[in-house]
Each structure stands twice: as C-alpha cells, then as structure tokens.
C-alpha cells in the first residue's frame, strides 16, 4: 500500500491534483496530459513520477506510449473521494440553509406588508 | 507500513446566511433536506427517504429507506447545539455499517456576521487504509457516480 505521507504530499500540489483528477476521468498518456495542461511534457512526467511513487497512479505500455491511470487501491483515492463528497454535500447544505434564510426574509417582508395594509 | 503516518483530515468550510442555531438545526435535524440522495448504503437498495440523527449524545445516526428499512451510519459522540456536533462515521471501507469501525466527523458552527461559518473535519482517515483494497472491490456496487467512475475508468 502507498505510504500515507507520500499520498498526502502528492495531492497537496494543485497541478498534481489536476493530473490525478484528469486520470480519474480516463487513462491518458503523458502527451495527452501535456496537451490538456499549461505545463511541459517533462513537467508532467515529473508529477506522474510523484503520483506513481505515492501509489496513486499506475502505468502500462501501449505500443511506444505509456498510459497512466489512477490506482484505486491507494488510500489517496478514498481520501480524494471523501474530499469531493464533503465538498458537494456542504454545497448542498449551504444551498438549503440559504434558501431557508431567504424564505424567512420573504415571510418577514410579507408579514410587514400585511401589517401595513391593516 | 513501518510507521503509521496519518493522512491529513479532510477540512471544509462554508458560510451560510442562517444564524448558528438555525444552521445547526438544518445540518442535523434537517439532514434529509440537503443530503445527496445517491449517497446511501442501505443493503435493501430502497431509495433514501429520511436521515435521522437522534439529538443527544450516543444518539443513533441512520438512514431510512422508502420501504421503511433502517440502516445505521454511526452515532452522535457529542451534541452541543448550536456550536458543535461530533459524529462517529461508522461506514467502513466496504461501505457497510461496522460498529467496530469509527472515524470522526466534527462540525462547528461559529457566528459570522448575521450568518454562520460552518467548518467540517473528517479525521482518522488512516483507519480506512486497511480497507482500501476491500473498498476497491466495493467500487462496483458504487456509492455515487464518482465512485463508479473510479471503478470503471481505473479497471
């Protein structure tokens, strides 16, 4: 299993997180990643090496290219998933809490109008 | 692994317009109103109807399906309205309730102007590590689309 300290530091870098998320969408080659990101191929390779050492991605040869994909056995994947899960959940919570608050203000305004009308 | 190095807890923060007491209430008693309906672990596969968090220490935290079935998620470790609630997330790496498995989710509510700053921390994630492999195989049964995405794309 991946060393946890590696997993954590590997995902601390925003570019590496971006690469990781893109690989979660679909396996890609270094070249494809470099095209999609504002960094050079050597830089992509460097980041992939860190992700690989952390056990977050694996690679395989396909002809002359190496295809990278995420390694779902890594704890980093679980953490990443939970991170997104809470992100989405709290967004939903905020939407609900703000809707509730907006409704309260509307009720208050309506009540105020009614009182004035009386 | 020779040394246990804990992964960083997940920390999230949102600001809501509601005051702390109301935000606390919506987060806890009103969880069914905002919880993502796809996130259920009920073995009966019944669609999620309610999420119940009993409002006291040691209170149960569970989901109820439309078929009336109940499935435990964890329990309340600390109940301190309107400022803090500490939950035991007892959903293991196999996406099943496991009374012997505990990770903590702490939610704090702090006044922020007329609204509230809500901070969430999910910690003890290293405890999920042992189950990482089991979780991988559980990906197929999926808990949400992202999970399924991981499974199919990474297979």
The third-level CATH classification (topology) of the domain covering A4-75 is: Arc Repressor Mutant, subunit A (1.10.10)
Which domains are present in chain B? Answer: 10-127 (3.30.530.20)
pLDDT band at A6 (very low <50, low <70, confident <90, very high): low
Q: Would the pLDDT of A75 be above 70?
A: no
Give per-residue pLDDT as tens, B106-134: 999 999 999 999 999 999 887 776 555 44
ipTM: 0.80
Over chain B, what is the mean pLDDT?
A: 81
Q: Which residues of chain B neighbour A84 with C-beta distances below 8 Å?
A: 146
Q: Would the pLDDT of A88 be above 70?
A: yes
Of A7, A88, A94, the CB nearest to B16: A94
Chain A residue with minimum CA distance to B20: A97
Contact at CB, B129 and A1, closer than 8 angstroms: yes
- Predicted local distance difference test score (pLDDT) of residue A37: 93
Q: Would the pLDDT of A99 be above 60?
A: yes
Smallest CA–CA distance, residue A81 to chain B, in Å, is: 7
pLDDT band at B150 (very low <50, low <70, confident <90, very high): very low
Give per-residue pLDDT as tens, B83-109: 999 999 998 766 779 888 899 999 999
DSSP string, chain B: --S--PPPPEEEEEEESS-HHHHHHHHHTTHHHHS-TT----TT-PPEEEEEE-SSTT-EEEEEETTS-EEEEEEEEEEETTTEEEEEE-B-TTSSB-TT--EEEEEEEEEETTEEEEEEEEE-THHHHTTHHHHHHHTTT-SSHHHHHHHHHH-
Average pLDDT over residues A31-35: 95
A102 touches B: beta carbon within 8 Å: yes
Smallest CA–CA distance, residue B67 to chain A, in Å, is: 24
What's chain A look like in SS3? CCCHHHHHHHHHCHHHHHHHHHHHHCCEEHHHHHHHCCCCHHHHHHHHHHHHHCCCEEEEEECCEEEEEECCCCHHHHHHHHHHHHHHHHHHHHHHHHHHHHHHHHHHHHHHHHHHHC
Q: Which residues of chain B neighbour A97 with C-beta distances below 8 Å?
A: 16-18, 22-23, 26-27, 34, 116
| Domain positions in chain A | 4-75
Q: Would the pLDDT of B137 be above 70?
A: no
Of B34, B128, B144, the CB nearest to A92: B34
Of A70, A84, A93, the CB nearest to B154: A70
- Predicted local distance difference test score (pLDDT) of residue B114: 92
């Amino acid at each position: 299993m991946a060393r946890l300290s590696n997993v954590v530091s590997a995902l601390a870098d925003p570019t590496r997180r971006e690469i990781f998320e893109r690989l979660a969408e679909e396996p890609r080659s270094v070249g494809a990643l470099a095209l999609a990101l504002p960094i050079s191929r050597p830089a992509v390779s460097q980041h992939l090496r860190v992700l690989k050492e952390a056990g977050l991605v694996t690679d395989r040869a396909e002809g002359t290219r190496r295809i990278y994909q995420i390694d779902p056995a890594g704890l980093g994947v679980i953490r990443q998933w939970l991170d997104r899960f809470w992100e989405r959940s709290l967004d939903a919570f905020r939407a609900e809490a703000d809707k509730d608050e907006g409704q309260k203000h509307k009720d208050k305004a309506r009540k105020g109008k009614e009182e004035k009308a009386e | 692994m020779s040394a246990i190095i804990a992964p960083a807890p997940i920390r999230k923060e949102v600001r809501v317009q509601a005051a702390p007491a109301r935000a606390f209430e919506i987060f806890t008693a009103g969880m069914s109103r905002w919880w993502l309906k796809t996130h259920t672990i009920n073995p009966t596969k019944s669609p999620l109807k309610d999420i119940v968090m009993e409002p006291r220490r040691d209170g149960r935290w569970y989901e109820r399906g439309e078929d009336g079935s109940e499935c435990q998620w964890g329990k309340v470790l600390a109940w301190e309205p309107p400022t803090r609630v500490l939950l035991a997330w007892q959903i293991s790496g196999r996406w099943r309730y496991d009374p012997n498995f505990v990770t903590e989710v702490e939610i704090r509510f702090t006044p922020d102007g007329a609204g509230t700053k809500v901070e969430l921390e999910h910690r003890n994630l290293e405890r999920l590590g042992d189950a990482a492999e089991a979780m991988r195989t559980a990906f197929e049964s999926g808990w949400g689309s992202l999970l399924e995405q991981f499974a199919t794309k990474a297979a």
